[in-house]
Amino acid sequence: MKPTAILEVKDLTFRYDLRKEEKTLSAVSFSADPGEWIAVVGDNGSGKSTLSRLLVGLIDPEHGTIKIDGCVLGEQSKWSLRQQVGIVFQNPENQFIGTTVQDDVAFGLENVNIPFQEMKERVEAALKLVDMLELRDKDPSQLSGGQKQRVAIAGILALQPKLILLDEAFVMLDPQSRRGLFSVLQNLRKKQGITIISITHDRNEAALADRIIVMEQGELIQVDKPSSVFAKQEKLDAPFAEQLRRNLKSCGRNVPETYMTEDELVEWLCK
Amino acid sequence: MNKLILGRYFPGESWIHQLDPRGKLVAAIYFIGILFFAEGWIGYLLLLGFTLLVMQMSGVSLKIYLRGVRPLIWLILFTVTLQVLFTAGGTIYFDWGPFTVSSYGLINGVFIFLRFVMIIFISTVVTLTTKPIDLTDAIHALLRPLRVVKVPVEDFALMLSIALRFIPNLLDETQKVMDAQRARGTTFGEGTLIQQMKTLVPIVLPLFVGSLKRAEDMADVMEVRGYQSDKPRSSFRQLTWTRYDTVSIIIMLLLTAMLMLVNRIGAYY
Ligand SMILES: Nc1ncnc2c1ncn2[C@@H]1O[C@H](COP(=O)(O)OP(=O)(O)O)[C@@H](O)[C@H]1O
Ligand SMILES: [Mg+2]
C-alpha cells in the first residue's frame, strides 16, 4: 500500500493583486510522499517562492487546499502544522533573528518551549550537521552569506520537522559545502523519512531528486521523474550527462534516444 | 559613529566582565542612587575612589572612559555654571544682579560635576563590560515582575535584542548607500545647511525602504519559526548568579554603610 502523503496540494490558486485578473498561481496540484525529494524548477517569477509561502501559511490561497500530514492548513491549524514544516528562505541576512549563531538556531526551539538542556543538545547536533559548530559564538556580521545559509538550515534541522522547504537555500554556498549539505539532507531523508522540497536552479541537483515539478507562469506544467522531465522540457537546461548525450547525438554518434543519468551514461560510454 | 563610547562593549576577562549582568545592573543603579545621599567632601571622595577602583578593575583604559564623558561635557558645564551662579551662601566673591559667585556655590558646583561624571563613568563601566545581549537579558529579568500587570516584557526584550542585532547592518548599509551616492558625484558635509540636508535625503530614503522590507521579511521568518507573542517561551541564554555577584551586592551595602558613617563624621566639622 502506498504510504499516505505528507503533503497534498489541490487546485491551489493565488493572486497578489485581487484587482487584476492575472493569477500568480493557477490551479496547482501535487502531492509528496514521506521521504521523497522533490525539486521545483522554473524561471524567475514563475511563482515558486509564492508556492512555498502558501505551503507554510504565510499567505492564504484564493482557492484550493493544502493538507499537511492529513490535516488541512488553515488559520487555526497553521501554528501546530508549522512544527512539522520548516522553510529556508532565499535571503539569509533577514533570516538571522538571534544575536549569535547558536542563539539563532535556538530561536525556533525557544518558541516551542523546549527545556534548556534538550535545547542545548539539539542546537549542538544541528550545528554539527551543517559544520558550523566552531563558529557558534559568532554574530551575523562576522559570517559570509553561505555560512548564514547554513545557520538558517541548522535552525530548521534543530526543529526536526517532517517536511523541509528550501527556497534557493544553497545559492550562496561554494560547491563543496553544497555537496556536503546535500548529502546531510539525503541522509536525514533516508534515516528519518523527512520529505524535502527544494526550489533550485541547479539542474544537476534537480536531476538527483525523486521527482521534479516544473513551473511556468504560475502553472505547474509537469511533475515527473527527472528522466521524463528533461526528456520533455527541451527548454530546461539539462544536467551535465544529458547535455553530453544530446551533444554526442547531434555530432551523429549512435547514442540512445532517451534521457540518461550520469551513471547510465558512463556505463554506456565504457561499453 | 566610532566616537560613541556609551553602549559599546569591550571584550575582556576582568572580574567585572564576569559578573552576572543582573547583579551588575542592579549594583550600578543602586550606586547612582546613593550618589544623591553623599554630603560633604569625604563622602564624595569615598564614592569617587570607589568609582575609580571599579574603572581600574574593568581593565579598560581611562582614555576610553574620558571619551565617554566628552559628548556630554557641555551639558555638564552648563548645569554646573547654573548651580554656581544661583547658589548663595558663605563668602561672596562676586555679585551681579541675580548672579552671585559664592563659596557655597563653588563647592556645590564641584559636587554636581563629580556626581555627573560618576554617573557617566559607572554606566560606562556596565556597558563596556557587558555584552549588549546580556544587558537585554538582565533588563528582561528585572522587568519580569511587570508581567503581572500585563506589560509584554518578553516582546520588549526580543524587540531590544533584534534592534541590537541590526545596528551593525544599518551602519553597513548607510556606508553602502553613501558610497553609491558618492560614486554618482554627491559630496557630503559641504555647502549650506540646507544643501547638506538635501544630500541626506537620498540616503535616508533607501535606508528606510530597506528597513521596512527587512522588517517584513523578519516578521515572516519569526512567524514560520513559531514565534507567538502570547505563548510561553524557554530561554537559550541562561544567566547564572554566582558567589561573586552576591559579594558585589554586599560590597554595595558596605559602601552605603561607610557613606552613612562618613556623612555623620562630616556633620561634626
Ligand atoms: N509581495 C508581492 N507582491 C506582489 N507581487 C509579488 C510579490 N511577490 C512576488 N510577486 C510577483 O509574483 C510573481 C511570482 O513571484 P515568485 O513567486 O517570487 O517567483 P519565483 O520565486 O519563481 O521567482 C512575480 O511576477 C512577482 O513579481
Ligand atoms: Mg523565488
Shortest alpha-carbon distance between residue A255 and chain B (Å): 48
Sign, CA torsion A142/A145/A150/A154: positive
DSSP category for residue B189? S
Write down the ipTM of this complex: 0.86
Measured between beta carbons, the chain B residues lying within 8 angstroms of A98 are: 165
For position B232, what pLDDT does the model report?
86
Do residues B37 and B85 both lie within one domain? yes
Range of the domain at B191: 166-228
Q: Is B4 helix (H, G, I), strand (E, B) or coil?
A: coil
* A109 contacts B165? CB cut-off 8 A: no
Average pLDDT for A196-204: 92
The residues facing A86 across adjacent strands are: A164
| pLDDT beyond 50 at B112 | yes
Ligand 1 centroid to residue A17 C-alpha, Å = 11
What proportion of chain A, given as a percentage, has pLDDT over 70? 99
Total CB pairs under 8 A between chain A and B: 89
Is the C-beta atom of A23 inside 6 A of ligand 1? no
Does the domain formed by A7-233 have CATH 3.40.50.300?
yes
| pLDDT beyond 50 at B254 | yes
Is the C-beta atom of A89 inside 6 A of ligand 1? no
Is there a domain that residue B202 lies in?
yes
Do residues B38 and B91 both lie within one domain? yes
CB atoms inside a 10 Å sphere around CB A33 = 16
Do residues B117 and B180 both lie within one domain? no
**What does the alpha-carbon distance between residue B2 and residue A196 come to, in Å, rounded to a whole number?**
46
Ligand number nearest CA of A46 is: 1
For position B67, what pLDDT does the model report?
86
Measured between beta carbons, the chain B residues lying within 8 angstroms of A141 are: 168-169, 172
Nearest residue, CB atoms, A108 vs list B169, B220, B226: B226
Nearest residue, CB atoms, A141 vs list B162, B168, B238: B168
Do residues B51 and B81 both lie within one domain? yes
The answer to whether the beta carbons of residues A242 and A259 sit under 8 Å apart is: yes
Name the residue of chain A whose CA is nearest to B214's CA: A94
Provide the mean pLDDT of chain B: 86
For position B53, what pLDDT does the model report?
95
Length of chain B as a residue count: 269
Do residues B69 and B197 both lie within one domain? no
Do residues B13 and B60 both lie within one domain? yes
Q: What is the pLDDT of residues A169-199, one digit of tens each?
A: 988 888 888 888 888 899 889 988 999 999 9
B77-109: b (≥16 Cβ within 10 Å) or e: eeebeebbbebeeeeeeeeeeeebbbebbbbbb
**What does the alpha-carbon distance between residue A47 and residue A14 come to, in Å, rounded to a whole number?**
10
* A58 contacts B224? CB cut-off 8 A: yes
Of A26, A40, A43, A50, which is best to mutate to test ligand 1, by the most ligand atoms within 8 angstroms of its C-beta? A50
For position B268, what pLDDT does the model report?
62
Q: Which atom of ligand 1 is nearest to the CA of A43?
A: 22
Residue extent(s) of CATH 3.40.50.300 domains in chain A: 7-233
Per-residue confidence band for A2, with pLDDT thresholds at 50, 70 and 90? low
For position B3, what pLDDT does the model report?
47
CB atoms inside a 10 Å sphere around CB B248 = 19
The answer to whether the beta carbons of residues A40 and A48 sit under 8 Å apart is: yes
Is there a domain that residue B41 lies in?
yes
Is there a domain that residue B140 lies in?
no
Which of A49, A85, A89, A95 is the best mutation test for B, with the most CBs of B within 10 A? A95
**What does the alpha-carbon distance between residue A101 and residue A140 come to, in Å, rounded to a whole number?**
7
Ligand 1 centroid to residue A54 C-alpha, Å = 12
Ligand number nearest CA of B216 is: 1
Task: For ligand 1, atom 26, name the residue with the nearest CA.
Answer: A45
Nearest residue, CB atoms, A94 vs list B214, B226, B232: B214
Mean pLDDT is lowest, of A16-30, B9-23, B174-188, for: B174-188
Do residues B5 and B126 both lie within one domain? yes
* B217 contacts A119? CB cut-off 8 A: no
Those residues with Cβ within 8 angstroms of residue B51's Cβ, 6 or more apart along the chain or in another chain: B118, B121, B122
Do residues B89 and B219 both lie within one domain? no
Per-residue confidence band for A155, with pLDDT thresholds at 50, 70 and 90? very high
| pLDDT beyond 60 at B4 | no
Ligand 2 centroid to residue B60 C-alpha, Å = 48
For position B267, what pLDDT does the model report?
64
Average pLDDT for A106-131: 94
Which is more confident, B14 or A245? B14
For position B164, what pLDDT does the model report?
79
Do residues B186 and B247 both lie within one domain? no
Do residues B114 and B78 both lie within one domain? yes
Ligand 1 centroid to residue A50 C-alpha, Å = 6
Pair type for strands A85-88 and A163-167: parallel
For position A19, what pLDDT does the model report?
86
Is there a domain that residue B251 lies in?
yes
Do residues B248 and B116 both lie within one domain? yes
The residues facing A39 across adjacent strands are: A198, A212
For position B2, what pLDDT does the model report?
45
Q: Which atom of ligand 1 is nearest to the CA of A44?
A: 23
- Per DSSP, the residues of chain A read -PPPPSEEEEEEEE-S-TTSS--SEEEEEEEE-TT-EEEEEE-TTSSHHHHHHHHTTSS--SEEEEEETTEE--TTTHHHHTTTEEEE-S-SGGG--SSSHHHHHHHHHHHTT--HHHHHHHHHHHHHHTT-GGGTT--GGGS-HHHHHHHHHHHHHHT--SEEEEESTTTTS-HHHHHHHHHHHHHHHHHH--EEEEE-S-HHHHHTSSEEEEEETTEEEEEE-HHHHHHH-TTSPPPHHHHHHHHHHHTT----SS---HHHHHHHHH-
* B222 contacts A83? CB cut-off 8 A: no
Of A22, A24, A89, A168, which is best to mutate to test ligand 1, by the most ligand atoms within 8 angstroms of its C-beta? A24
Chain A touched by B91 (CB under 8 Å): no
Provide the mean pLDDT of chain A: 90
Kind plus residue range of the DSSP H or E element containing B220: helix B193-224
Measured between beta carbons, the chain B residues lying within 8 angstroms of A139 are: 165, 168
The answer to whether the beta carbons of residues A48 and A167 sit under 8 Å apart is: yes
Per-residue confidence band for B1, with pLDDT thresholds at 50, 70 and 90? very low
Those residues with Cβ within 8 angstroms of residue B174's Cβ, 6 or more apart along the chain or in another chain: B203, B207
Say how many domains are in chain B. 2
Is the C-beta atom of A116 inside 6 A of ligand 1? no
Name the residue of chain B whose CA is nearest to A83's CA: B226
Per-residue confidence band for B269, with pLDDT thresholds at 50, 70 and 90? low
Q: Which atom of ligand 1 is nearest to the CA of A42?
A: 22
Do residues B113 and B172 both lie within one domain? no
Ligand 1 centroid to residue A162 C-alpha, Å = 26
